[in-house]
Amino acid sequence: MSLLNENCPAKVDPLSDAELASLLSQVSGWTVEGGKLVKTFRFTNYYETLAFVNASAFLSHQLDHHPELHVTYNTVKVAYDTHSVNGLSRNDFVCAARTDALLA
């Protein structure tokens, strides 16, 4: 099943190194930094930046899995992690795939 079509399950487990590597290959442009799944999105103006922030907030609310967002005039750095496992879970990758789909 594609990450894009998955929902975030309520019960999650931390990822093994093999699972992490496999899932990371499925989300283009995302990296692991400081134990978080991170990507920076670039836009042409502030209006587009905030439209993306609002769309990602709606998505996060639907999935009940919320990222850290760092917003500037024309960039948004999105960082996912799963607090309950103190690291990364499959949910982070589902949300990353869905976040990418906002711009598809």
* Per-residue pLDDT reduced to its tens digit, 38-77: 999 999 999 999 999 999 999 999 999 999 999 999 999 9
Task: Assign 96 a pLDDT band (cuts: 50, 70, 90).
Answer: very high
Domains of the chain: 16-101 (3.30.1360.20)
| Average pLDDT over every residue of 79-88 | 94
- The CB-based long-range contact list for 43-51 (8 Å cut-off, 24+ gap) reads 43/74, 43/75, 43/76, 44/74, 45/73, 45/74, 46/73, 46/74, 48/74, 49/73, 49/74, 49/75, 49/76
Residue ranges with strand state E in 1-104: 31-33, 36-42, 68-71, 75-80
